[in-house]
Chains A and B, each alone.
Chain A
Amino acid sequence: MYDISAIYEASSVENAVKLRQEHPDAVIIAGGSDVLIKIREGKLSGAELISIYGLSDLRGVTMGEDGTIRIGSLTSFSHITKDPLIREHIGVLGEAVDLVGGPQIRAIGTIGGNTCNGVTSADSASTLFAWDAVVELTGPEGVRNVPIEEFYLSAGKVDIREGEIQTAILIPKESWEGYKGHYIKYGMRRAMEIATLGCSVNVRLSEDKKTLTSLRIGFGVAGPVPRRARSTEQAFTNVPLTEDLPKEIGRAVLADVNPRDSWRAPKDMRLHLCSVMAERAFIEAARLSGTDLYGKAEGRGSSFMCGSREGQGDTEAGHQTSEAAEHQTDSRENSGTGSTPAACEAGGEAR
């Protein structure tokens, strides 16, 4: 039994925008896998809800004439993982969201909810950062596009303005063309987990595979919101691929991250893992791009990684949300039943 004072079901995007204006304090609910947990915990008890879950127009993945990949905000994780466009062009996103929670959560959780929740640990977020994704918002004044890095304002706060709902995530062609990526999720177990740290690396190599022409690294839980390793990316653009390169990248990212010390993981451990994960995700992304830096050399590469998708099959999982809550406040005790992630909860927290 949930303590909900009212629920308004949107019949269309326009109607959702109208409901948002009429009920500015109401919380948007999509899949509900975050909102319902907060209601149960008492943090959102008595809330008014606007449900957008019935807006089927917001589901699915399409490619525009200009090559932009458009992911409707209500597209579920399991849908994204299986979608042919995603698999062909930005496979790492499907792999990353396949690490969310468990199968049930991935069936109900949406990518819109995952990003609107504003948490640093969202498995989709670090990967979307690495892809230079753009967030599409629809409001009373029409559509507004925001680069994902600007969409995240602070822990748990995203740039959704009055009357707006998030309607899509866009990956422009110039962001994905020629790139390959790999995501590593670090968790304390291999399923039903939120990321202790997430690292998503995209690389683009020269045609002869000898030069790294572009590098993008997205981190989750390496700061209050997902972040890019900008100085590392700049330092390693148009550099020759060498055996030492992964380790150098691993060392360099330390200048770009600022993980927190908490009971979930100490800061020095997270810093250490930032290096190792950047190194290993880079090796794998380079391998996917056609260069195997170490072959099958023992002791290198990624034969297994805690929480990495590799070798773990479709039932693999991972949980999201609450590292962000941890960054907001320490009061996340008694959180949740173990199922958490993904849902739109812009409402009260949006600005």
Chain B
Amino acid sequence: MKKKIAMTVLWLSALIACLALLDHAMRRDDSDRKYSAFFEEEQGFDVLFFGTSRVLDGVSPMELWRDFGVTSYNMGNNSEPLGVTRWVLDLAMDTHVPDIAVIDVFYVSRAVDEAWTYTYRHLFYDALPLSRAKIEAVCATQPEDGRMEFLVPFSLYHGRWEEILAGDVERMVECEPYMMGGELRPSRQVRDNYTLTDEATQGELPGHQALREIAALCWEHGVEPVFIALPGHASQEEQRDMNSVARVAQELGVPFLNMMQVEGIIDFDRDCYDWQGHLNPDGASKATAYLGAWLTAHYDLEDKRGDAAYAHWDARLAQYEAHRARVWDGQEVPLDK
């Protein structure tokens, strides 16, 4: 009997080990590449950036380090509504509690279920270890019949053998660990007839309540929340929606840095990657420089450059700059009108 139990345990252990190996081999690595540096960082972060692809492309943590000595991570994810950002923030603070949480409000008008693209849900959830917080977040953001694949990604990715055998693997995002969650999109595009408006949408938008919950969550953890709207092409309606956040920010007493309304941060004719308002590397550098100056002016953020404990940030910066030079600096990128 004892021998049989031992053999069964041994066999089950071998099965679990094989499944772990297969899980590692079969899963997409996009999420790991985006978030691995976040989970591996031992010194914590001064600032965490949350929100949509406008943050993902528009804020460069490495340039924030280079120019201000501030440690930050870009948690931005494509088409992420604020109702989800609330959960991303919650899960992020399971690992690191920053001094400041900067929240992009571009998707303030979108409800959770209408905006968040399926693949980007995986881009966020796949790297997160299974935890009670993750289960809560998945339950809150996913329909009941679609939760398992986020809690056990192998249930989805076991079917990738076909793609892997055929050598037909494409990356979803261009994030490398040294980008600290951000990405570079080397292109230029301009939207015609683009005009600014300072009008604001009246009434409650789906993201307003999420912003209240985000602020409460931040305060609960001793974190300073900051709402931002990054500059970039946006429709009149999108601008009005973003402008409406000023009301909520005032109600909560949270700073709202509406960079859309600040002239001269970016060159709208050269610094956008596409007409949807994503910033290219030049635009991201300008927006990051402005944000860094604003954050260091308003908060007591220690300049950590030169601190031996943060030497790995300098190593990553070198990698980042080499990458940026390769894909952007000195390149003749045509303007696509």
Chain B binds chain A: no
Residues of A within 8 A of B (CB): none
